[in-house]
C-alpha cells in the first residue's frame, strides 16, 4: 500500500477525495472496475498528483482496492463485512458517548430528520445531503473521545459504508428509521443522558445491520447492471 502524505497542502487533494467519494457512494460501477487516474484528473480539472493522493487515502480507508502494477479499483460490497464495520462503529460511538457526552451541547445540533419527509421518496441529491449530515454526526461523536485513532477509524468507516447509507435512504425504510433515530441520539447527548444515547445508538446500529443483506444484494445488482465508469459519475 502506498503512503498518504498528510503534510502536503490538502486543498486540491481533499477536494478530489470528496468528489471521488461522492461518485463511489453512488455505487453504479461494477466491482473490480479500475479507475483511470489521468481521466479522473481531467474530469476534476486538476493534475494527477492530488488525484493520486485522494486515491491513496481512499485505499487506506479500504473504500477502494489497490493492486500494485495495476492501480485502484472499486470493491464488491459484502454484507457480513459491512455488519462487522457497523458493529465496530457502535463500539467507537459508545466510547465517544461515555467519554465526554456532557460537552456535546454546542456541537450536536444536527437534525437528519429535518431533511426527511415521512412517507415520501427521497431523491439522490437529498440522500447525498443527509448522508453527509449523518457522517458529520458520527465524526462529532468520535471526536468526543479525544482519541485521534477513534476519529480516524470513524472517518474510514464512513468512507467504506457511504454507498449503503446513501442508497438505503432512497430505498429502505429501516435505514430511514435508523437515520431518524439520530435526532433522539443527539438530543440525549446534549442533555448529558449517556446511557440513553448508547441505547439509541445500539438501536440505530441494529436497524442498519438488519437491512444489510437485502440492501447489499440490490446495490451489487445495480452496479453490475448499470456499469457506469466512476469517471463518468464525477
Give 148-202 pLDDT, tens digit per residue: 999 999 999 999 999 999 999 999 999 999 998 998 998 888 888 999 999 999 9
Does 159 map to a domain? yes
Among the candidates 76, 91, 118, a domain finishes at 76
| Domain encompassing residue 67 | 11-76
Please report which confidence band the pLDDT of residue 112 belongs to, taking 50, 70 and 90 as the band edges.
low
Count of domains for the chain: 2
Q: For the chain, what is the largest distance between any 2 Cα atoms, rounded to a whole number of angstroms?
A: 53
Residues of the chain above pLDDT 90, percent: 78
Kindly report, residue by residue over 88-109, the tens digit of the pLDDT: 999 999 999 998 655 554 556 6
User: Are residues 89 and 198 both part of a single domain?
Assistant: yes
Among the candidates 30, 50, 76, a domain finishes at 76
Does 158 map to a domain? yes
Residue 65 backbone phi and psi in degrees, to 5: -95, 165
User: Are residues 37 and 19 both part of a single domain?
Assistant: yes
- Over range 109-120, report the average pLDDT: 60
| Helices 11-26 + 148-171 axis angle, to 10 | 40
User: Are residues 69 and 93 both part of a single domain?
Assistant: no
Does 137 map to a domain? yes
User: Are residues 23 and 138 both part of a single domain?
Assistant: no
Among the candidates 76, 101, 116, a domain finishes at 76
- Over range 122-139, report the average pLDDT: 91
Find the CATH number of the domain harbouring 117. Answer: 1.20.120.530
Q: What is the pLDDT of residue 115?
A: 61
User: Are residues 155 and 105 both part of a single domain?
Assistant: yes
The SS3 call for residue 230 is helix
User: Are residues 66 and 160 both part of a single domain?
Assistant: no
Rounded CA separation 103/99 (Å): 10
Handedness of CA 181, 185, 187, 188 (dihedral sign): positive
- Share the mean pLDDT of the chain: 89
Does 110 map to a domain? yes
Amino acid at each position: 500500500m502506498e503512503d498518504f502524505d498528510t503534510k502536503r497542502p490538502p486543498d486540491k487533494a481533499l477536494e478530489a477525495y470528496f468528489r471521488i467519494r461522492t461518485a463511489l457512494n453512488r455505487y453504479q460501477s461494477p466491482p473490480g472496475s479500475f479507475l483511470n487516474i489521468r481521466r479522473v484528473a481531467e474530469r476534476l480539472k486538476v493534475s494527477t498528483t492530488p488525484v493520486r493522493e485522494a486515491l491513496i487515502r481512499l485505499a487506506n480507508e479500504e473504500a477502494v482496492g489497490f493492486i500494485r502494477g495495476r492501480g485502484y479499483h472499486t470493491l464488491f460490497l459484502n454484507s457480513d463485512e459491512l455488519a462487522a464495520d457497523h458493529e465496530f462503529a457502535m463500539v467507537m460511538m459508545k466510547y465517544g458517548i461515555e467519554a465526554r457526552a456532557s460537552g456535546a451541547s454546542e456541537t450536536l445540533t444536527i437534525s437528519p430528520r429535518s431533511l426527511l419527509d415521512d412517507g415520501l421518496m427521497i431523491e439522490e441529491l437529498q440522500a447525498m445531503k443527509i448522508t453527509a449530515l449523518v457522517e458529520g454526526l458520527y465524526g462529532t461523536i468520535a471526536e468526543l473521545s479525544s482519541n485521534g485513532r477513534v476519529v480516524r477509524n470513524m472517518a474510514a468507516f464512513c468512507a467504506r459504508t457511504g454507498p449503503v447509507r446513501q442508497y438505503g435512504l432512497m430505498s429502505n425504510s429501516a435505514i430511514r428509521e435508523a437515520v431518524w433515530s439520530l435526532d433522539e441520539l443527539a438530543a440525549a447527548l446534549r442533555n448529558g443522558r449517556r446511557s440513553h444515547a448508547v441505547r439509541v445508538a445500539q438501536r440505530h446500529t441494529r436497524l442498519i445491520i438488519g437491512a444489510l443483506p437485502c440492501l447489499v444484494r440490490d446495490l451489487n445488482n445495480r452496479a453490475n447492471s448499470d456499469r457506469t465508469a466512476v469517471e463518468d459519475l464525477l
